[in-house]
Amino acid sequence: MTDKTRYEGELELVKALAIEAAAVAMRRAKLVKPEEKANHSYVTDLDKDLEQLIRKRLGEAYPDDRLTGEEFAASGGEGRRRWSIDPIDGTGNLVHGLPLWAVSIGLIEDGVPVLGVIAIPPLGELFWAVKGHGAWRDGERLHARDAEVFHTQDNVCLGTNAMRTVDPRSIKGRLRDLGSACCEQVFVAANRLQACVFLGEQTHDVAAGVVISSEAGCVFGTLAGERLDPAEMVRRTPVATPTFVAPPRRLEAILSKARLYPAATERS
């Protein structure tokens, strides 16, 4: 278990809430009814019901906090704290029966992500972190392994939008696209991926994950040479330029080689 923190009560409540939401999701996963949103992504009745459940529980516990999420307008109080909810991250995977999707709940205080909990229901796993107190998976401390170079068998995840902008020929390793930004972030923390790349992700996609990945030792950077902290990652959502997540030396290694497609370079 983590040391006691000023967010101990919030952490225990949100872990229990994520486990509850994950159980509901698993019971209903094969029965979801998808609809197409204006941006052509899917939303299901399960997405909406889970977000309402999570909002209700958080609103009862912390009435002064702002509540935001993927499917509904902001609600709740006007305090310094904001909860960012992604009821199902990877809805397209869920709809097609691909067992890689997550429930994500992040807490942002004065613009700084301070707490993140991500459940991956198909895997039965729960990830969490509090700023300054490490990252954890089911009670096991996570440390992202660093290295000076990438091996040809290292897993690097390029999200769909990033894959259409970053030239994959400039990325060494085995390229993946998991379809869930939350899974990608915690998998880098857990050494299942050695890096991931984002483009277009919203606050609810990264609010919890940046706490977990950074507490496991990951950092964030862009092809322009910028190095971002978790607060800047959230502030810059939706992510407007390819942004890489990796341990420090791996980040430098991947950025030293990564390039945009020639056409993307010309357009910029």
Whether pTM > 0.85 for this model: the answer is yes
Q: What is the pLDDT of residues 181-194, one digit of tens each?
A: 999 999 999 999 99
Percentage of the residues of the chain whose pLDDT score is greater than 90: 90
Alpha helices, H only, 123-170: 160-163
Strands (E), 110-182: 112-120, 125-130, 135-137, 140-142, 155-158, 174-176
Distance, in Å, from the CA atom of 253 to the CA atom of 246, rounded to the nearest integer, reads 10
Question: Is the four-CA dihedral 108, 24, 128, 152 of positive or negative sign?
Answer: negative
pLDDT at 4: 59
- The average pLDDT across 107-112 equals 98
Fold held by 8-142:
Fructose-1,6-Bisphosphatase; Chain A, domain 1 (3.30.540)
Q: What is the pLDDT of residues 135-154, one digit of tens each?
A: 999 999 999 999 999 999 99
Does residue 44 surpass a pLDDT of 70?
yes
Does residue 268 surpass a pLDDT of 90?
no
193 CA to centre of own chain: 14
Please check whether residue 40 is in contact with residue 65, taking contact to mean a CB–CB distance below 8 angstroms: no
Q: What is the pLDDT of residues 162-173, one digit of tens each?
A: 999 999 999 999
Residue 88, annotated as binding a ligand:
yes
Residue 205, annotated as binding a ligand:
yes
Residue 86, annotated as binding a ligand:
yes
Domain ranges (residues) in the chain: 8-142, 155-267
Fold held by 155-267:
D-Maltodextrin-Binding Protein; domain 2 (3.40.190)
